[in-house]
């Protein structure tokens, strides 16, 4: 499954500053799940996606690349952040790097880091514990600790269930970076979610929702690859708990189950893409809507575009923007990749949201 490294294309925009080297597998045995980051042996930084990974690699998407003209800096080296999938994959392909795979189990081309190319694994919970134990913090780090401690206090969850991801995790944050908090364990997640809801409903709370101006900035960023009207965006984002402000700093909270709670091992389920599809369907169970990856159980599906199947059971996404997107009882219109799932002989289908052009919007009720 692991592709063979190719020499960089001489027409690539700039050479990477480090040589790709293999490390003994014993040095890379540390597990990594959603919220973690990985640094490769050639200095690239990847965000880990999901809870289920092949034995020889970790599914992770490119986030930061050393670049002398980059806008971020760490330990005297500048980095450039890659936001879009097409930019990430173009760079990896152009540089001939071994981080693109045609996975026979997942049934698609994915990004990932072979374990022998992992230099370091960044653990969000260990990073948060480190920040809690330090006497000197910058302003954003201090707010991250204060916010996490507030969640621990209000929700009654252990400190070890809270972590910090994103730019703070890898030391590439600026004063304007978001607070990317991660909560691990489904029970801890639900308790924090409930506490956040209560704080957001309290006008005296230091936790607040984004105003319209802040929403518009978020909309401009997301609408580049997730089509939706601004009115719909405001309608949906304004009721979410995972996005808001702590004091004046924007936050995004990722709720992640533990791998043991998911109970799936790589290879137990096999997936095959059947192309794009657009559907309309009621959400019958949104119990998994707060988690990353998120899940919505659906029924009585009407196909608008794409191949029709009679056993489409769920809408799934590994992207945080689709969390809390719909509630039980709402009817949604969604576009994504139609996948066939084979789980120990039982075959069903799901709609996966995440690629540019994918969306899910609850239908407005008529009054």
* Same domain as 347, residue 255: no
What's the pLDDT score for residue 27?
45
In a domain, 5, yes or no: no
Domain stop point among 90, 121, 152: 121
What's the pLDDT score for residue 10?
32
Does residue 106 surpass a pLDDT of 80?
A: yes
* Same domain as 128, residue 109: no
What confidence tens digit (pLDDT) does each residue in 217-268 have?
999 989 888 999 999 999 999 999 999 999 999 999 999 999 889 888 999 9
In a domain, 94, yes or no: yes
Q: What is the pLDDT confidence band of residue 18, given thresholds at 50, 70 and 90?
A: low
What's the pLDDT score for residue 31?
81
* Same domain as 253, residue 192: yes
Q: What is the pLDDT confidence band of residue 3, given thresholds at 50, 70 and 90?
A: very low
Domain stop point among 121, 148, 170: 121
Give 20's contacts (C-beta < 8 A, 6+ positions apart).
Answer: 5, 40, 41, 42, 97, 98, 117
Q: What is the mean pLDDT of the chain?
A: 91
* Same domain as 250, residue 292: no
Q: What's the CATH code of the domain at 321?
A: 2.40.50.140
Across the range 27-54, mean pLDDT stands at 89
How many domains, the chain?
3
Does residue 6 surpass a pLDDT of 60?
A: no
* Same domain as 207, residue 149: yes
In a domain, 18, yes or no: no
Across the range 356-361, mean pLDDT stands at 96
* Same domain as 253, residue 336: no
In a domain, 136, yes or no: yes
Domain stop point among 240, 259, 278: 259
In a domain, 294, yes or no: yes
* Same domain as 222, residue 136: yes
In a domain, 35, yes or no: yes
Across the range 321-335, mean pLDDT stands at 97
* Same domain as 296, residue 211: no
In a domain, 200, yes or no: yes
* pLDDT: which is higher, 106 or 6: 106
In a domain, 17, yes or no: no
* Same domain as 299, residue 184: no
Q: Considering the chain, what percentage of its residues have pLDDT values greater than 70?
A: 91
What's the pLDDT score for residue 7?
35
What's the pLDDT score for residue 191?
98
* Same domain as 353, residue 248: no
Range(s) of the domain holding residue 50: 25-121
| Omega prior to 293 cis, within 30 of 0 | yes
* Same domain as 283, residue 245: no
What pTM did the predictor assign? 0.91
* Same domain as 245, residue 144: yes
């Amino acid at each position: 499954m692991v592709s063979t490294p190719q020499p960089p294309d001489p027409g690539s925009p700039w050479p990477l500053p480090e040589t790709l080297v293999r490390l003994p597998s014993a040095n890379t045995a540390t597990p990594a799940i959603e919220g973690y980051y990985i640094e490769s042996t050639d200095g690239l930084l990847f965000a880990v996606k999901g809870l289920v990974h092949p034995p020889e690699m970790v599914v992770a998407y490119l986030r930061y690349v050393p670049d002398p003209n980059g806008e971020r800096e760490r330990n005297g080296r500048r980095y450039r952040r890659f936001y879009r999938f097409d930019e990430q994959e173009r760079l990896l392909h152009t540089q001939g790097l071994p981080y693109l795979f045609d996975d026979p189990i997942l049934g698609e081309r994915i990004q990932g880091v072979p374990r022998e190319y992992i230099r370091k694994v960044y653990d969000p919970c260990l990073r948060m514990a480190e920040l809690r134990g330090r006497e000197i913090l910058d302003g954003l780090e201090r707010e991250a600790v204060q916010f996490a401690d507030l969640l621990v206090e209000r929700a009654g969850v252990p400190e070890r269930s809270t972590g910090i991801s994103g730019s703070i995790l890898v030391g590439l944050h600026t004063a304007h970076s978001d607070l990317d908090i991660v909560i691990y364990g489904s029970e801890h997640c639900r308790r924090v979610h409930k506490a956040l809801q209560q704080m957001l409903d309290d006008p005296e709370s230091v936790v607040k929702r984004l105003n319209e101006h802040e929403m518009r900035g978020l909309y401009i960023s997301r609408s580049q690859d997730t089509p939706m009207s601004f009115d719909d965006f405001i309608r949906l984002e304004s009721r979410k708990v995972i996005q808001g402000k702590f004091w004046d700093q924007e936050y995004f909270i990722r709720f992640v189950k533990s791998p043991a709670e998911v109970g799936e091992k790589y290879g137990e389920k096999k997936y095959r893409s059947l192309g794009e599809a657009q559907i309309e369907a009621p959400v019958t169970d949104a119990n998994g809507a707060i988690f990353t990856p998120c899940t919505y159980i659906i029924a009585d599906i009407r196909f608008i575009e794409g191949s029709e199947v009679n056993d489409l059971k769920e809408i799934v996404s590994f992207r945080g923007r689709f969390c809390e997107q719909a509630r039980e009882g709402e009817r949604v219109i969604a576009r994504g990749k139609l996948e066939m799932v084979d789980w120990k002989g039982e075959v069903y289908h799901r709609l996966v949201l995440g690629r540019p052009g994918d969306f899910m919007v609850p239908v407005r009720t008529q009054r």
